Amino acid sequence: MKRKSDKPIKVTEVCLRDGSHVMAHQYTEEQVRKVTRALDDAGMHYIEVSHGDGLGGSTLQYGRSLIDEMKLIEAAVEECKQATVAVLLLPGIGTVHDLKQARQLGAGLVRVATHVTEADVSAQHISVARELGMETLGFLMMAHMAPVEKLVEQAKLMESYGAQAVYVTDSAGALLPDQVRERISALRNSLDIEVGFHGHNNLSVAVANTLVAIEEGATRIDGSIRCLGAGAGNTQTEVLLAVLDRMGIDVGIDLYKTMDVAENIVGPMLPRPQEINKGSLVLGYAGVYSSFLLHAERASERFGLDPRDILIELGKRNVVGGQEDMILDVAAELARAQKVEA
């Protein structure tokens, strides 16, 4: 692979944040310590720890956490000897107060996340994060829902607010490799800061998409050990590292140790295998936020529906992250419609 950037690739492991969706936000402090300790020993660059929906996400709407996320962040920081603990913040869910508390506990990096067309709501949080001395990155979610020109416009806004990198975030796992190539290339040619990529594996192309992103110059890359992330999971960290090693790209993370984390620590924690089933496949097919899967499955049981019908309808309505309350509304409407037809 001939990369279009000579900057080192930095990997953020997201299983303790994106994976929180799969765990129904029930991570224990012991689990976080064990995973963090092993990842740090393997040489992971960044380890993201927070509620699946970011700081402040422990609510009835998004799902209550078993343990306060600040305790989990503090525990992760205590276990890290070289890795940086990262957090995610969605303006409107997380607050500046949450950010300051995470920083006081030792979090060193924050990704400020907005819908791909709403970067303007990130200005205050990016500015405060920079004032706090944190590495501060922009995270444009549901990147498949906007044309490339709009993506560039929004990324430039985040750059102007002080973001040190901006991610193309494939929250639905709906992007195909050519679409990733087009988006990463456009950002790299339009920004003076680093470009990142966060993939989901709902269409089984997360590793391929990540390789394309790296080829086009992305230097900030996300992965989840054992695919522990929303939907079918993210770019599988240990697989990505093996592929990069085969390609002669050394990112400074021990492959064997990462494999061991996946096999011996994260694997036994999984509530179910992280595979592409009909639900996660429909997420990518319909372009629906990956964290909606568990909510849709619960709604389908409540209303006696096929969860695929709920997800397809959510896709038709262009429902985005933060609109989880609409899942029950859509399910109720579909159930009523089925009764009328019957």
Residues annotated as catalytic are: 21
Query: Is 246 among the annotated ligand-binding positions?
Result: no
Q: Is residue 172 within 8 Å of 206, Cβ to Cβ? A: no
115 labeled part of a ligand binding site: no
Could you give the CA distance from residue 28 to residue 67 in angstroms, rounded to a whole number?
A: 6
Is 17 marked as binding a ligand? Answer: yes
> 185 labelled as ligand-binding?
no
Cα 245–chain centre separation: 24
**Is 272 assigned to a binding site?**
no
Is the separation of the CB atoms in 268 and 300 below 8 Å?
no
The residue assigned the tokens 């030792």 is 106
**Up-side HSE of residue 157: CA atoms within 13 Å toward CB?**
19
Alpha-helix runs per DSSP H in the chain: 19-22, 29-42, 69-79, 96-104, 123-131, 148-161, 177-190, 206-215, 237-246, 255-260, 278-286, 292-303, 307-316, 325-341
Does the annotation flag 256 for ligand binding? no
Residue numbers in the known binding site for substrate are: 17-18, 171, 198, 289
Residue numbers in the known binding site for Mn(2+) are: 18, 198, 200
Residue numbers in the known binding site are: 17-18, 171, 198, 200, 289
